[in-house]
Amino acid sequence: MSPRHVPLAALIAALVCAVTLASPARAADASDDDGEAPKQPNVYLDLSTTYITVPPNTLALGFRNFTLPLGVAAQSVQMTAPLTVDVTDRLSVYGGVGANTSRSDLTSWSAMTLDSWHVGFNADIIKQAEGPGPTLTVISTLTRSLNSPPGLAATSNQTVLELDYALDQDQMQGFLAGTRVTAAWVDSDLVKVNPAFVGYVGGYYQWDSNWKVSSRLGVQTFGGARIGNVVLAKAFTQPTLRFDLDRMDDSDNRLFGASIEVAWTPQPIVQMTLRTPLYAVRN
């Protein structure tokens, strides 16, 4: 199997595993309804708008973006609206396209154009039982760039494994710990991008009004990138920091989300995101 097909095969295998694990839970939920009709899956466009600032000579490698280093500072606005289906309360699948506009210190804003497609899933491998306890979630997204220069099209995969230890039955407050792995494969054999690993800890609190705040503090290790013998980006180990603010409904469906993440590379990349889901079906 070609190395470029490995991330897709891994994603499919993980998705099959997630569906297998989630199916018994769905059957149990249906049997607990005492004859009531099972709930329809949530279906929505998870509209997301992200503003990113990138320092000079910095490789931007992350979820739904892959940007080669520029000699000047740059900014970009990315929009995605993946069609998302919450198959059960333990499994969601999604897929869609992304658009991007960018500028640098030497150029004005470009036209907004489609630049990538992506597919992925979010699965609770372990689900909290009665009382305080853990939930283990895996989120994996495969992204392919579009309209890239010849030989520079890239496939990337980002996988997050997060442990949520709730301090109460309703998961209104708790602690977080997790890891994130981001890898990219460029079509040209001359370009090699090493994976980036992040480990983090954090916590969250949700008020009775259904506003929820969470934070994560971690360390990122990146192995660097090269074109032949030329160094594109140096290896580093630096901190990361992220804050999230979400508005939920009584069934824990997200109505609004905002986040800010700072990743030192070693200069800081700042990423601000607004999420406004557009529901076709919401339980």
Q: Domain boundaries in the chain?
A: 3-281
Question: What radius of gyration, in Å, describes the C-alpha atoms of the chain?
Answer: 20
Q: For residue 167, how many C-alpha atoms fall within 13 Å in the half-sphere facing its CB?
A: 9
Q: Is residue 119 within a helix (H) or strand (E), and if so which, with residue range?
A: strand 113-126
Give dist(CA 220, CA 2) in Å, integer: 28
Burial of 36 (0-12, 13-18, 19+ CB in 10 A): exposed
Give dist(CA 146, CA 149) in Å, integer: 9
Contact criterion met (CB below 8 Å) for 140 and 175 = no
Average pLDDT along the chain, 283 residues, taken 10 residues at a time: 46 45 43 56 95 84 58 89 94 95 90 93 92 94 86 88 95 96 89 92 97 97 88 89 96 94 90 96 89
**10 Å Cβ neighbour count for 164?**
22
pLDDT of residue 33: 47
Give dist(CA 253, CA 232) in Å, integer: 41
Contact criterion met (CB below 8 Å) for 198 and 219 = yes
Cβ-proximal residues to 117 (8 Å cutoff; 6+ apart), any chain: 95, 96, 97, 98, 143, 144, 146
pLDDT of residue 34: 47
| CA nearest to 117, candidates 141, 91, 139, 84 | 141
Q: Which CATH class is domain 3-281?
A: mainly beta
| CA nearest to 58, candidates 44, 38, 74, 34 | 74
Cβ-proximal residues to 46 (8 Å cutoff; 6+ apart), any chain: 80, 81, 82, 84, 94, 275, 277
7: preceding bond cis by omega (within 30 degrees): no
**Global pTM value:** 0.83
Pairing between β-strand 211-222 and β-strand 196-206 as defined by DSSP bridges: antiparallel
φ/ψ of residue 252, rounded to 5: 65, 25
